[in-house]
Amino acid sequence: MSDLVLMVFMRKYMQKPMHLFGTIGFISFGLGMLINLYLLVWKLMGHDIWNRPLLILGLILLLGGIQFITIGIIADINVRTYYESQNKKTYNIRRLFRGKEDVTASKEK
């Protein structure tokens, strides 16, 4: 099962890891912010929030979201460095269009 997950990751997110880690990070960060805003309103209404495990969950989600976003940025920089150091392109050109004629990429090489 883990091999299948690894292959899906490699196929979809190898060239754009920020799409995966950024999405997870922003969802986690958003949930953490919502929980913490709820607890802030609860605290402003005069209730005690220190004995609630929801506070710990909110903080973990908030900090975890920041870490996922940071990991995504670092992974994106590493992927760009990998492709630029070997003079590889991160994309393939399927077809070139010039005016009314259709030139395939294989004829250009």
DSSP of 38-88: HHHHHHHTT---TT-HHHHHHHHHHHHHHHHHHHHHHHHHHHHHHHHHTT-
Q: What is the pTM of this model?
A: 0.73
Written as six digits, the tokens of 52 are 């609630």
Neighbouring CB atoms inside 10 A of 52's CB total 13
CA neighbor of 58 nearest in space, from 71, 73, 75, 41: 41
Query: Is the Cβ–Cβ distance between 31 and 54 less than 8 Å?
Result: no
- Angle ∠(92,19,1) on CA atoms, nearest 5: 90
Residue 52 phi, psi (nearest 5): -105, 130
User: Tens-of-pLDDT digits for all 109 residues of the chain?
Assistant: 778 888 887 788 878 889 889 999 999 999 999 999 999 999 999 999 888 899 999 999 999 999 999 999 999 999 888 888 888 777 777 887 777 655 565 555 4
